[in-house]
Structure 1
Amino acid sequence: MVLPLLYLAIRASEAGLTEISEVVFDASSLEVLARSVLLAAVVTAVAVGIAVPLAWLTARTDLPGRRVWAVLAALPLVVPSYVGGLVLVSTLGPRGLLQGALAPLGVERLPSIYGLPGAALALSLFTYPYVFLTVRAALRGMDSSFEEAARSLGSGRWATFFRITLPQLRPAIVAGALLVALYALSDFGAVSLLHYDTFSAEIYIQYKSAFDRTPAAILALMLVVLVAAVLAVEHRTRGRANYGGRNSAVARPVPLGRWRLPALLFTGGVVSLALVLPVGILVYWLVRGLAAGETLESVWESAWNSVFVSGLAAGVAVLAALPVAVLAVRFPGRVSGFVERLSYVGFALPAIALALALVFFGSNYAPALYQTLALLVFAYVVHFLPQALGAIRAALLQARPSVEEAARSLGRGPLGVLATITVPLARNGLVAGAALVFLTTMKELPATLLLGPIEFDTLATEVWNATSGAFFARAAGPALLLILISAPPLYLLTIRDRVK
């Protein structure tokens, strides 16, 4: 876990303080820093503005079809940001579908979609489910007796929401907003397609074009420091709230009355923009490409590569996370706490910085591993291990240790107890953790581009290669297949227990 961060520090330190200062305080570096912070702030604000009302409507009101809307509102999470960028460029960009449709009416040019507006729109539409899922879960588990007491004392619905409900939701909102902010800071595909330079795009350009890659390592460390600052702000602002307990009162659905139609329009509009439109545009380009002679032969091999490497990463991540979770839950203490916190280092490291560190490490110290499947899977596991660890840890906390103690008292050894007792008890967490790692690995782009073996294409790299050359019809097939394959893990994670 500390290898990538340590190597970046060593690589950057080789430049000396003078060169480090020149890179850090260069006008272009400071501009990239400002642009990255601005993008993260805008995307986070928009995502929260979309997700909180949507979560409240689907969890606390009599919105017609709210269970179906809850499912549809979560599904944009399977759409990678670079696929969203592809949809925006092909629809609203120069010579895009909208421009072609309006040309007969005399419209020669549309406002540019490139830059901050396009990048913020693409990231907001496909990251708001992070906030939506956490806030909706908090609303479903929140004790409604506080709200009912406020209403009985004469407080109106809006006053009750802002004074009672919203403060209790602050930890959930901040937790989801943190994921959105980190995603926006580390995103590479959407910002590159929409020509908005951030740290991730600049690091990739430096790595590919510059003979001396030390500046790329320095920029990567700047990004790591920025991520650390975001984590520190989140820690100070998240607050604490007790959503409920065993005897929590279940909230009765709030009647929308005359607001029912606006609520339906809002919910339907978000789902249309974030799910229906991207899928519809991709289907259009796919049909157009097939009619023009495009083939899907290479897509199936890339799909197999994606499923294979994602499944491998999910399995290895679960195997690596299980002993850490057992240590943290069954043997709490300073050492186990340190090991658990150390496991989150890779997740805090943006994928582009992690990949850059492993490129340096592999090419200089482990050439036998450089551009191999083993190093790529290693990168995935380092980056996504906390996702498996969190799910397994939660499952173990719900399992009684007395069963394991009884097995030990009957003479079964530690490994036997782990295999026959602990693993079955944590089965739900193991499955959920593997599904989450599989889902995120399927969409991962920068680490795959930099660390993937030669001629090892995945659906993510297929979409990127085709889109970067403006071959939208060629990108549609792998993009749709990526969404289709990613949907079942999301169902496993969210739908099964959130639409009741």
Structure 2
Amino acid sequence: MTSPHRAAGPPPLLRWRAAGLLPLLGLAIVTVIGSPLAFVGIQAAQTSWDQAQRLLGRPLIATLLWNTTALAGAVTLATAVLGFGAAYLVERTDLAGRRAWTVALTLPLAVPEFVRGYSWISLSSSVHGYWGAVLVMTCSLYPLVFLPVAASLRRGDAAAEEVSRSLGQGPLATLRRVTLPLTRPALAGGALLVSLYLLGEYGAFAMLRFTTFSTAIFTQYKLGFDAASASLLTLVLVLLTLMLVTLEAGAGRRGRTARRGTAGCSASPVRLGRGRLPAVAALSALVGTALGVPVYALVYWLFAGSSTTLPQASLLSAALTTFGYAFTAALTATAAALPVALYAWRRDTLFARTLERAAFLPRALPGIAVALAVVYFAIRYAQPLYQQPPMLIAGYVILFFPLALTAVRAALAQVPPGLEEVARSLGTRPAAVLARVTLRLVLPGLGAAVAMVGLTASTELTATLLLRPTGTQTLATQFWTYTSGLAYGAAAPYAAVMVAMSVPPVLLLTRRTLGPNPRTENR
């Protein structure tokens, strides 16, 4: 006998169409996002086997592989330690001024990596090479670990930690045996973003004179005009990305998701006692190094003068152009990420997991590879779009789609399981459930995705240099023009505006990602 709930649902044909449309839409989106990979493969296939062996067998390849992996390993480990430690101090201890510390620890995201490299190089030429890159990139990227871990600690049910302490376990034992496993998915996701950033970064490494795969690929494309050799190097980055995504997926599955209990249980804060002063000193040193140095450098060069032999461009025009392109790309990337994340969240199947992981692969492509792929497509199949704004927006969407996908899937993870099924059992159509229930719950996460993509797109450099319409200048391209000529004073205003424009999205990202603190609400 058919239950009344099942009879009230949509007809089987409509249910089949709704269930079949989402994976098809997700597949179409991931295919478009991954199209630069096809371009790289086509270009690499033009190289003969002997040429490929000679290229990949050169000592330079071993050096590039060592530089890239050693840097990624060191920075990922450093950001994981700093991000987790800072999140634990802010969310699980009786540290004073939690809100102020949260904002201060997140604000380094407002400073682009190449601006941070410029700030260190312009103040001291000794900051370069491997250790200079480790320092600069750690200061830039640790918030990518801090934010998801802090959100996991804030929203999670801390009953297990209370039980551990009640059984006589000390703070360190509880941290190692309970807290760390609960935050492992967030920690792994943040570490993945850090690693992906490092694989594709160019501007900061060029300033710091440290050679990685991304800088070598840029040289092959831009200076050597050797697309085939550059594509082979790019494929190595894609393989590294695939390994990282697989490792992150395994680490996330082994972790236990921290969920809020029905009563919103929060652990009583760990008392720092004599450790309060060292904790404050450590956080102050971190914020001072990550935020204080770039701010000081910008203020110094703003007052030191901006004399230069290069023509001055309109600062306001560059700022408005940057905002327009970045905001449009952020909205487009977030809208495209929603179907992919929604399907992977609803269907824990091999196809869904593969689709989601494949969407992360383009993040390993350097900006110049994505830009050339877009140019290749426009010239062959969409000639009217060549050197038009849609090309630059498409490049941004492809590059930063993984960021939007990460934010959207994190928002969906907070939706109570089975909620959509309950709504459908009451006779609500799937489209109405999506609009009235799911989207309303994940709306803060969508805002975080827009903020994250917009923040990153507004400071993108390499793809912008190739895809911008003729005569168009953004803040990043003007900044690069002046710094390439060592006109640090002239570059400072553009860097300052980029940082100022990035502060509101960072604050919004902090608020959307972390949300209210239940401990402060209960006081």
Question: What TM-score do the two structures reach when normalised by structure 1?
Answer: 0.86
Match of 1:243 in 2: 258
Q: Per-residue displacement from partner, 1:457-482 (whole Å, max 9, x unpaired)? A: 21122222222222111111111111
> Letter of the aligned partner of 1:469 in structure 2?
G
Question: Does residue 487 in structure 1 map to residue 503 in structure 2?
Answer: yes
Work out the CA distance in 2 between the residues paired with 1:334 and 1:76: 37
- Determine if contact 1:67/1:499 at 8 Å carries over to the other structure: no
- Determine if contact 1:143/1:250 at 8 Å carries over to the other structure: yes
Work out the CA distance in 1 between the residues paired with 2:515 and 2:358: 31
2:450 to 420, 434, 438: 434
Match of 2:283 in 1: 267
Work out the CA distance in 1 between the residues paired with 2:138 and 2:348: 39
2:271 to 255, 279, 283: 255
Work out the CA distance in 2 between the residues paired with 1:12 and 1:293: 41
1:81 to 113, 122, 126: 113
SS at the partner of 2:305? Answer: helix
2:135 to 109, 117, 121: 121
1:305 to 313, 321, 324: 321
Work out the CA distance in 1 between the residues paired with 2:311 and 2:211: 33
Q: Per-residue displacement from partner, 1:344-398 (whole Å, max 9, x unpaired)? A: 4434544343234334444555554343321111111122234334545565656
Question: Does residue 15 in structure 1 map to residue 31 in structure 2?
Answer: no
- Determine if contact 2:128/2:210 at 8 Å carries over to the other structure: yes
Q: CA 1:59–1:332 in structure 2 vs 1: closer, same or farther (change >3 Å)? A: closer
Q: CA 1:269–1:325 in structure 2 vs 1: closer, same or farther (change >3 Å)? A: closer
What pairs up with 1:52-451 in 2 under 5 angstroms?
52-93=84-125, 112-238=126-252, 239-247=254-262, 249-289=265-305, 297-324=313-340, 340=356, 342-363=358-379, 366-392=382-408, 397=415, 400=420, 427-451=443-467
How far 1:421 moved relative to its partner?
8.2
1:4 to 13, 36, 47: 36
- Determine if contact 1:296/1:477 at 8 Å carries over to the other structure: no
How far 1:30 moved relative to its partner?
1.8
> Letter of the aligned partner of 1:188 in structure 2?
Y
How far 1:127 moved relative to its partner?
0.2
Q: Per-residue displacement from partner, 1:80-125 (whole Å, max 9, x unpaired)? A: 11011001101111xxxxxxxxxxxxxxxxxx32211111111000
Work out the CA distance in 1 between the residues paired with 2:115 and 2:391: 26
SS at the partner of 1:443? Answer: coil
- Bigger drift between 455-464 and 77-86 goes to 455-464
> Letter of the aligned partner of 1:165 in structure 2?
T
Q: CA 1:290–1:406 in structure 2 vs 1: closer, same or farther (change >3 Å)? A: farther
Identity of aligned residues (%): 39
Q: Per-residue displacement from partner, 1:265-318 (whole Å, max 9, x unpaired)? A: 111111111112211210121122258999975221111111010111122223
> Letter of the aligned partner of 1:212 in structure 2?
D
Match of 2:73 in 1: 41
- Determine if contact 1:83/1:479 at 8 Å carries over to the other structure: yes
Match of 1:453 in 2: 469
- Provide structure 2 residue ranges, at least 5 long, that are not aligned to the other structure: 1-32, 518-523
Question: What TM-score do the two structures reach when normalised by structure 2?
Answer: 0.82
Work out the CA distance in 2 between the residues paired with 1:13 and 1:290: 48
- Determine if contact 1:371/1:454 at 8 Å carries over to the other structure: yes
- Determine if contact 1:186/1:352 at 8 Å carries over to the other structure: no
Q: CA 1:34–1:330 in structure 2 vs 1: closer, same or farther (change >3 Å)? A: closer
Q: CA 1:17–1:453 in structure 2 vs 1: closer, same or farther (change >3 Å)? A: same
> Letter of the aligned partner of 2:198 in structure 1?
A
- Determine if contact 2:241/2:361 at 8 Å carries over to the other structure: no
Paired residues in the alignment total 478
